[in-house]
Amino acid sequence: MDKQMSLSGLSDELSQVRTKKKEFLSQIERIVPWGEWIKLIRPHYYKGERGNKPYDLERMLRIYLVQNLYDLSDMATVAEVIDSRAFSEFCGVESSNQVPDGDTLGRFRNLLLRSGLQEKLFAQVVCLLQEKGLLLKKGTIVDSTLIAAPSSTKNREKKRDPEAHPVKKGNSWHFGYKAHIGVDKDSGLAHTVKVTSANIHDVTMVPELLTGEEASVYGDSGYLGAEKREDAILFNSKGKRVRYKINRRPSQIKHADNRSLAQIKRREREKSSVRAKVEHVFAVVKGQLRYRKTRYRGLRKQIAKLNILFALANLILADRRSCLTA
């Protein structure tokens, strides 16, 4: 009897311990707009008219978010939700019978994919940030990051992902996809996400990353010449000319005369200080959310994955700066 009481006391004590995982999930609990997301997904969710009653939609969404927050496979997500007290509490799970199997979680993910809901969830977060005055759209920073894909052919099809491509960056070759983003220059939050194979040049994506309202565009030297392309956006929605503030290559600065060199370097530092904000959102996606390598094959799945990750990254960054509440 004493042993049972001591075990019960230990269980209660453990449930009250605050760990980094619990604190992070508590933050996600607070900042995700649950009502709006569930309302958006419900028309596409299973009605349960035939066969077994479907799992609760909010619980499925929470389990899906755990999968994306920790970059887990379907089976690993199910196991973690059952084994981890922090995950089970976040998902509202009291017994293993309330947790779907890996195949059911996979079908839920594909349901969101088929309906384009990950992109709609990202767009909803952007609207929320605009309403709170966190996206001013006075200027956009454009940038991209590589997402590696497995290059091995040791799989069922005996071939690599056909929609991923190799690209040379510096002296190294990379195989995979590229996430292109447009970021608000004032808040550092992403307003646009586009995904391509890795071999698509950054400068070709600029028109798709702009809102049409910005007065200025910032980018690294990979975007030089963006304003000279046929599809370049030269005037914003108010009819004012868009200023392209792209960093020069170091080799271009070397040829300047001594009188103007200091002034050019100062301007380049100013551009770089603004452009540095884009690294914060990449740091959340690739560092905190651990998404550096694809888990699934195909461009469509990468688009869905990266939209939900950048939606979460926006919420996390906005909360750091303004105590965002959903």
List the chain domain ranges: 15-115, 121-317
pLDDT of residue 49: 66
pLDDT at 325: 57
Produce one character per residue of 122-161: b if its CB has 16 or more CB atoms within 10 Å, e if not.
bbbbbebbeeeebbebebbbbbbbbbebbeeeeeeeeebb
pLDDT at 326: 47
- The pLDDT score that the predictor gives to residue 260 is 78
Distance between CA 124 and CA 116 in Å, rounded? 13
The predicted structure's pLDDT at residue 253: 76
pTM: 0.91
Q: Decide: helix, strand or coil at residue 286.
A: helix
The pLDDT averaged over each successive group of 10 residues in the chain (326 residues) is: 51 63 96 97 87 90 98 97 96 94 96 97 96 91 96 78 93 95 97 97 97 96 96 96 93 70 88 95 96 95 98 96 62
pLDDT of residue 10: 45
